[in-house]
Structure formats: structure tokens, C-alpha cells
A and B are shown apart, each in its own frame.
Chain A
Amino acid sequence: MAHFITGKIGQYALVLWVAVTLNFFLPRLMPGNPLALLAGEEVGLLTPQQRTELLAQVGLDQPLPVQYTRYVQNIATGNFGYSYQKNKPITTILAERLPWTLLLTGTGLIISTLIGVTLGALAAWKRGESGDVGLLGLFIFLESLPAFWVGMLLVALFAVQWRVFPTFGAVTPWVTYTGWDRVMDIARHLALPVTTLIIVSVPGTFLVARYAMLGVLGEEFIVVARAKGLRERQVLFRHALRNALLPVATVFTLNLAFAFGGATVIETVFSYPGVGRLIYEAVLNRDYPVLQAAFLMITVLVILANIVTDLLYPLLDPRVRHAYTQAIGGA
């Protein structure tokens, strides 16, 4: 288990290092004006003085190892540079955008996991019956839908056609709500984007949960539980589901990269002011430093979410918990 934890941490550190190093080398290896690639297309509009400052700041005249060290130092201290496009430090921009992405992706992941696991367990329980087959067909189909297209259809129907939900943004512009009204305003804006994320995320969880459940239901301890005369519901939720949750947790971590990627297109459709929408704006404006910082930010989010899931693992599985306490005690 100790080996497991260090191995995981090593892996995440490696991912982070790869992301940072890619970020460093990409603008320096691409053809074109490296200054524009490092500071955005806006550099053409800078005053000579700003230009000199910028050159010194990125240190393009220094040897690569020096540039690299400085780059890593900057990142480590949360200094992502300056967006001339938005005329703000990138760290400030990220701080504004981060809460919205966390709200959208967090809510979406939690709800879709709950729905996916519950439906998957029920489908496995009723396997082969019409409900199971229907859900399977439905989710195979949903899995093939492009996330952004689902979002576009929801906007067209629920925001434009029937005017039930707002068409864009995270809050109503030019109005300052307070207290409960503010919560409701945010919830109304969140409804369509989060529904889109749920529609595209549930199929994966459902299919894995259903399969894991089928496996567990065939095991001897389930037969024993039934033989003891326990009610089916008890067997399903008390005995089977707990075991089936383990593969679901594994898949959950691997789905994180998918969910944060999905959030990028979904935020774009709904003009939702998160890090994903920031990526779209940066592509549109060729604001490379912001693009890089947003990518790094999402990588960090995925890694953090992975770590949280890894830490929850022992809570789900007594076997892992046991091994874990032993490893700690033995260390």
C-alpha cells in the first residue's frame, strides 16, 4: 500500500512535469515569432518600453536551461505572466474562472456518478429484462453524442424556444442579487450546462457499474446472503453494491480527464465563464500565455481530483484500508 501511494504520487508528479515542460518548449520550438507565441499576438501593439520589459521578463536572450529554471520558478510561485489581451495578470484571470469550473464539473461529476451507479446496479439486478435492455440501448446511444451538440440542442429548446432557462453566462448581468436570490440565479444558469455534462457522463459510469454489479451478484457471499433470507433490496444495496463500487471508483478517476475536457466544450456552448471557456477565448484571440495557463490549471485540477479519489479508496474497501494501516504502522 505504501508502494501504491508513492507510486501514485510519483505518477502525478510526472504528469505535472510533462505538462509544465510541454508548456515551456512549445512556444520556443514552433516556427514564427517566439515573443508573439509567448506573450500573445498583442505584442505587435506594445510600446518599445513594454517590449523591452517583456523580453527581459521572458528572458528569450538567456540560454535555455536558465529560461527553464526561471519558468519553473514562476509557475511554482503562481506567476503565470500577463495577458496583454485582457490586460490583467493571468493568475487573476484564473482565480476568477476557477470557481465556476469547479462548480460545474464538481456538481456534474457527483450527480452523474450517483445516477450511473444506481441505474447500473438496478439494471444488473434486473438483467435481461426489458428495463435493463432499454437502459443499455439508451446509454450506448447517449455515449455517441457529441457533448457540445447536446448543449446546443438544450439551448435551442429550453432557453430560446421555451425560455425556461437563461441562454448564457453564470449569473444575470447588470443585476446584483444577494442571499437566496443569488443562489437561485446561479442555479438557474447552472441547470442547462450541468444537465449536458450529466447526459454525456452517465453512460460510462452506468456501463461500468452494471458490469461490476453483474460480477458481484454471481459471487458466493451473495448466495449466502440470499440463503440467510435477506430481502433482495438488502442484498443488492448492502452486500453487492459496496463491492461493485471499487471498479466504479477506478473508472471515476480515469473519467476525470474526460469530464474536464467535456467542460471545455460545454462552457463554450453556454458562454459559462469557467477555465474551459477561457481556453476557447484564448484560441480565438491567439492569446497563447492564457491558453497555456488554462491547460496547466486543468491538469492540476485533474491531478487533485485523482488524489482525492485515491484517498477515498481505503474508505470504500476494507482490504485496502487494512493494508494501508499496516503499511503506516510498519513504516
Chain B
Amino acid sequence: MLWRAVRRSPLGLLGLTLLTLIVVMAVGASWIAPYNPTQTVGKPLEAPSAAHWLGTNDIGQDILSELIFGARISLLIGVLSAAIALVIGTGVGLMAGYFRGLVGALLMRLVDVVLVIPFLPLMVLLAAYLGQNIWNLIAVIGLLIWARPARVIRSQVLSLAERDYVLAARAVGARDGHILIRHVLPGVFSLALAQFVLATSGSILLEAALSFLGLGDPTQKSWGTILYYAQARNAFLSGAWRWWVIPPGIMITLSVLGFALLGFALEEALNPRLKGRGATAEWRASQGHGSPGLGGRLKRLFTHPTSQPGSAPDVG
């Protein structure tokens, strides 16, 4: 199903290729990496050479090996925090779309609050209290980026809840929980998958920013943590930035781009309804939540609308 969805989109294929390469790198790190990234294997700040393709850092660790092992941490944090966001987002989206009354209104209020609050400073605050380890980072990111998936999923549920088979289930007296899980949830599954991929793109970027601010786990270096040390140890003064700063940034950019392109392709292929008019307002409203908003924007790029309803603002 996944493959069929991506096959027709060249950019989706590009994303998938990038991700495959990075995942292979992360999984096979122990075999691929030339050195143990935690050991001093050279002189400090050695320039790239045959022995150390990307040189060494301030304490003589091999930077290429750090990058290869760093893929594990960056991807792990990205994927797991996106998974948390997806579970919360799907739950909130299902309930907010299905229970229209007070429950739905309260949940959407909550979504709006999470969208307005400056999430990066809040993540920093939470992570600083919780302490530096990757599980705390995963929790903190996941707990603050679920609002966009929740909005998108809710908009789908709103229409699913009006379908005949749902009404029929209700008519024969099925309980709400049963209807939600057996009839509505399967309908949002593919959309949720696309949201998950897009959330991963955003959380990799957020993890990098948090680690750069010194909240990463010093014993398990991600790409962001490598850059934190490069900044803290003045890589700029020695010219070491050429091999110490540039490569980790490229790795972050490629993985963020990979997940974003794949997510866009999935969203478009699995959910043709998003191409229509109804999703526009929802899409607009869901924009801007930092990088997780990327998917919506990308999606729009490739579905050039020839006409669109008058741009009336969402005012009550």
C-alpha cells in the first residue's frame, strides 16, 4: 500500500531513497562506522584524512563515526516522539470530531492553546526540569506537537461520522466506543500514517534545536548534540567548523527533507479528499505550527488549484 502510494511521485521516491539510506546507516552503524565514536582515536581537531574521512573533534573522536551512530539517536527520538504525538493526536482528533457537543468544543480549545503557546521555550523548560536523557526529550517533544495531527484527523472524522455505515451502526444501538474503534478509526488510518511521517520530520528538527541548546544526552550523541559541542568548544576559532559543523547539519537537513517529501507523497496519494475544497480551511488553520506544518504546505505545492472558494476568513 505504501509503495503504491509513493511510486507515482518523484519527490516521494526521492524522500524514500534518502530515508532508506539513513535508516540503513543507523541500523548498520556498528558495521559501517570505522571507529567507536565514544573513544579517542586520533589527535584533537585533525583535518579530514584517509584515516579520518571527516576529521576529529576536540577530544580526538572520529566525526564520521559520530555521525553514523548519531543517526540512531536522531531517528529514534524523531520516530518515537512522532509516535506519541500521533497517539494523542489521533485520540483527540477522533473524540473532537465524533462528540460534537461540549467534549468536542473543549478538546478543540485545548488544541488551540497548544498551537498558540511558544512550544520551543516550553520544551526547553520541561526538558530542563526533567533532566538530560533521550526518553525525556522524546516525551517532551511528543507531548507538544500533537495538535496539528489532531486537527487534520478531526476534519476527516467530521465527515466520516456522517457516513451511512456509521449512522447505521448508531441506529442499531452500537455504543460510541465501538463505533469509534471499529468504524471510524479504520477510516483515518492512512491519514494518520501520513501525519506520523510528517510529525517525524518536524520532531527531528526540534530534537536538533533542543540538543543544540544543551538539553541533549551527553552519553548518546545525536546530530544536534554534536553541533552543541562544536559550538560550545569554539569550532569556529580553529577552522574545524568545516568538518565538524557542516556534516551534521547536512544529515539533519537530509532526514528532515526525506520525511517531509515522503509524508507529502503519502498524504496526497492516500487521501484524495484533501485535494478538494473542504480541506483548505483546515489546512490553513493547521499551518504554522513550526516545522510540523511543512507537510500541509508541501502538499499544496503539487495540487495547483485552478479555482478555490472565496478566501473568507474563519471568523465566527
Contact = CB atoms under 8 A, between A and B. Distances in A.
A65 B237 CA distance: 52
A148 B227 CA distance: 9
Contacts of A19: 117, 122
A4 B316 contact: yes
Interface residues of A, number: 86
Given A215-B311, A257-B115, A288-B129, 4 more contacts: A152-B245, A214-B304, A251-B288, A261-B118
B245 A250 contact: no
Contacts of B315: 1, 4, 320, 323
A119 interface: no
Contacts of B293: 204, 254
B208 interface: yes
Contact of B257 (A27, A140, A279, A319): A140
Interface residues of B, number: 69
Nearest to A143: B294
Interface in A8-33: 11-12, 14-15, 18-19, 22, 26-27, 30
Interface of B: 109, 112-113, 115-122, 124-126, 128-130, 201, 205, 208-209, 212-215, 224, 227, 230-231, 236-237, 241, 245-246, 248-249, 252-254, 256-257, 260-261, 280, 284-285, 287-291, 293-294, 297-298, 300-301, 304-308, 310-316
18 contacts: A11-B116, A15-B117, A144-B294, A146-B212, A148-B209, A148-B227, A149-B227, A160-B241, A167-B236, A204-B297, A214-B308, A219-B308, A257-B289, A261-B290, A279-B213, A284-B214, A295-B122, A313-B313
Nearest to B252: A146
Contact of A15 (B116, B121, B305): B116
Contacts of B213: 264-265, 268, 279-280, 283
Contacts of B289: 254, 257-258
A254 B287 contact: yes
A153 interface: yes
A207 B256 CA distance: 17
Contacts of A303: 116
A268 B305 contact: no
A37 B304 CA distance: 52
B115 A265 contact: no
The 10 nearest A-B residue pairs measured at CB: A254-B288, A261-B120, A215-B308, A149-B249, A218-B307, A207-B297, A144-B257, A144-B256, A211-B300, A255-B288
A26 B125 CA distance: 9
A138 B261 CA distance: 14
A58 interface: no
A315 to B, nearest CB: 13
Interface string A146-161: 1111001101100010
Contacts of B119: 257, 261
Contacts of B260: 140, 143-144
Interface of A: 1, 3-4, 7, 11-12, 14-15, 18-19, 22, 26-27, 30, 37, 127-128, 136, 140-141, 143-149, 152-153, 155-156, 160, 167, 203-204, 207-208, 210-212, 214-216, 218-219, 243-244, 246-247, 250-255, 257-258, 260-262, 264-265, 268-269, 276, 279-280, 282-284, 286, 288, 291-292, 294-295, 298-299, 302-303, 306, 313, 317, 319-320, 323
The interface residues of chain A, by DSSP majority, are classed as helix
B113 A218 contact: no
Contact of B116 (A149, A286, A302, A313): A302
Nearest to A160: B236
B116 A265 contact: no
Given A148-B209, A219-B307, A250 B313 contact: yes
Contacts of A295: 118, 121-122, 124-125
A257 B113 contact: no
A152 B227 CA distance: 9
B273 to A, nearest CB: 18
A244 B311 contact: yes
B284 A260 contact: no
Given A250-B313, A264-B213, A207 B121 contact: no
A160 B300 contact: no
B117 A155 contact: no
